[in-house]
Amino acid sequence: MVNPLTLTAKEIAQQVSSGSLSALDVVELYLDRIRRLNPKINAFITVAEEQARRAAEEVDKAVKKGFRGRLLGVPIAVKDVISTKGIETTCASKILRGYVPPYDATVVKRLKAEGAIVIGKTNMDEFAMGSSTELSAYGPTRNPWSLDRVTGGSSGGSGAATSARMAPTSLGSDTGGSVRCPASFCGIVGLKPTYGVVSRYGLISYACSLEQIGPMTVDVEDCALLMEVISGRDGFDSTLIDYEFRWSYEGVKGLRIAVPKEFFSEGTDERVLESVWRVIKLLESNGAVYEEVSLPLSRYALAAYYIIAMSEASSNLARYDGIRYGMPYDPSLPWHEAFSKVRGEGFGLEVKRRIILGTFALSAGYYGRYYLKALKLRAMIRDQVLSLLKRFDVIATPTTPFPPFKLGEKIEDPLSLYMADIDTVVANLAGVPAISIPAGLVDGLPVGAQFMANYCREDVLLTVAKCVQDETHFDKLVPGVAKA
């Protein structure tokens, strides 16, 4: 019997469909791997062993009756900010410990409808607020490439689980780079879709106008397959556009690449820049053309992003009061004391920091000075990005300005940690799709190349990724821990 751990998600589904593998056998192999590796890596907060086994048995029964889903028997790791019916969903926060959603997020429902199996909920920065997956109430996630390094955040558990082959694919969410940063640091593919292409129904909100759910995979074709399944309208998210993703690979000949000088300047590790340039030159050797350009307002993107994101977080997180779910509310105390006690004990330091800063930016006398100005700047940045994408097919940048850093290295300096997002936030502000693909290794640690495209052009991004994968075979890179 072929080892499912060496197969892509697409290949697993084919094997289960043909009867060469059973979904239950696949799940048991991955559960065994999680039991061995998760104590070292801490990629999963919750491992849904019994639910996964029951789901696998149901898939096997359905296959015998002729069911042929696109993800038959494929285990999926789901970030703990995405609602899963019957499986605890905590956002890696004490305040939601014990919360079990009564419904599945749209993306989870669609995955299950194609025969996929939720194998567990992955670790993350609390409420998706962070860039290293160190800010979790359940402890940090460690990078499979080097256990003393961070995975990136906030979807670091999903990135580590996929990189270490504890799940063939995973879902993350991306508010300012939270799919792409872990993809870069963990050496996998991470796609942030166009805003409005994938339903956010069931995604526990941090910053509604910025965030999207996206696939994280080892293989580019698996990334495309997940996009086909999770995209499209659902009737629950009013921001969705009428668009269904489809992709076929036709090569990069004639592809026009913009290379903004602002992303290749001082402040970015020279070894990262060399890796990204190698990817650009590889695409050129396959028929693409590139031109160095300018995106001048990108230098203000990080400031605008954090003002908008923190302001929206201040509003979204006001609902956590201990009355309806999560930490218990003490009715013997006056309301304002009980409310403060729940939030004071339940939220971590970074979440409190962002709520306070967001509340300040929205307060009387400061709304126009900060929040409104950030919204205006966001519109100007979007216009500059779209202007470039009228002339070019993609915009190429590093995903992060540095390789994975050591655990604890930046945790005491929030501004230094925020800099991990400096290359990724532009895509969220503009609402355009962006992908991170492995660009090579720096001192044995992965770094990523990022590409942005116009609205609903995820197909172009995946074509770029497929070309690079075919030339470099980055899907065959396996971290040392995963070889154990």
Confidence of residue 483 (pLDDT cuts 50, 70, 90): confident
The alpha-helical segments, DSSP class H, found in 260-300 are 270-285
Q: Is residue 430 part of a domain?
A: no
Confidence of residue 484 (pLDDT cuts 50, 70, 90): low
- Give me the mean pLDDT over the 115-128 stretch: 98
Distance between CA 249 and CA 378 in Å, rounded? 33
Q: Is residue 307 part of a domain?
A: no
Q: Identify the pLDDT of residue 1.
A: 54
**pLDDT surpassing 90 at residue 103:** yes
Q: Is residue 192 part of a domain?
A: yes
Q: Is residue 32 part of a domain?
A: yes
What are the residues facing 212 on neighbouring strands?
174
Q: State pLDDT tens for residues 262-321.
A: 999 888 999 999 999 999 999 999 999 999 999 999 999 999 999 999 999 999 999 998
CATH number for 122: 3.90.1300.10
Q: Is residue 450 part of a domain?
A: no
Domain count across the chain: 1
Domain hosting 13: range is: 4-254+458-483
Q: Identify the pLDDT of residue 2.
A: 67
Q: Is residue 130 part of a domain?
A: yes
Q: Is residue 221 part of a domain?
A: yes
Distance between CA 137 and CA 95 in Å, rounded? 10
Per-residue tokens: 20:
């060469």
Average per-residue pLDDT in the chain? 96
Backbone angles phi, psi at 84, to 5 degrees: -130, 120
Establish how many alpha carbons lie within 13 A of residue 76's alpha carbon, considering only the half-sphere containing its beta carbon.
35
Which residue type occupies 299? R
**pLDDT surpassing 90 at residue 329:** no
Q: Identify the pLDDT of residue 431.
A: 98
Q: Is residue 172 part of a domain?
A: yes
**In whole angstroms, how far apart are CA 18 and each of 15, 153, 225?**
5, 38, 19
Q: Identify the pLDDT of residue 314.
A: 97
The answer to whether the beta carbons of residues 315 and 354 sit under 8 Å apart is no
Vertex 213: Cα angle to 9 and 15 (nearest 5): 10
Per-residue tokens: 25:
């056998």
Residues marked active site are found at 79, 154, 178
**pLDDT surpassing 80 at residue 351:** yes
If we measure between CA atoms, which residue out of 464, 406, 481, 442 comes closest to residue 163?
481
